[in-house]
């Protein structure tokens, strides 16, 4: 997942305004208590950040691949 795909997945799932809040303010324990924004800026793979954000925000597993993105192989 590229940064642009991460950003699109966040917007598609949470909306533009709330997506900015979620990536800036939600602390992700699985990523050393960083926010999604901090983690991506510090070089963490966007796909890992996306999965951590989905877990923290209770995104249903069926949507964790990111809307508009290809589903991963089963």
Taking phi first (over 0 means left), then psi (-120 to 50 degrees means alpha), and beta for anything else, what does residue 71 get? Answer: beta
Q: Whole-model pTM?
A: 0.84
Selection from 26, 24, 29, 31 nearest residue 7 by Cα: 24
Q: Answer whether residue 11 shows pLDDT above 70.
A: yes
**Average pLDDT across the chain, whole number:** 89
Task: Give me the percent of the chain exceeding a pLDDT of 90.
Answer: 73
């Amino acid at each position: 997942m590229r940064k642009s795909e991460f950003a699109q997945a966040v917007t598609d799932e949470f909306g533009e305004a709330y997506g900015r809040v979620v990536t800036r303010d939600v602390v992700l324990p699985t990523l050393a208590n960083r926010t999604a924004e901090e983690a991506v800026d510090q070089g963490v793979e966007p796909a890992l950040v996306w999965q951590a954000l989905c877990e923290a925000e209770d995104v249903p597993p069926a949507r964790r691949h990111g809307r508009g993105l290809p589903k991963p192989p089963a």
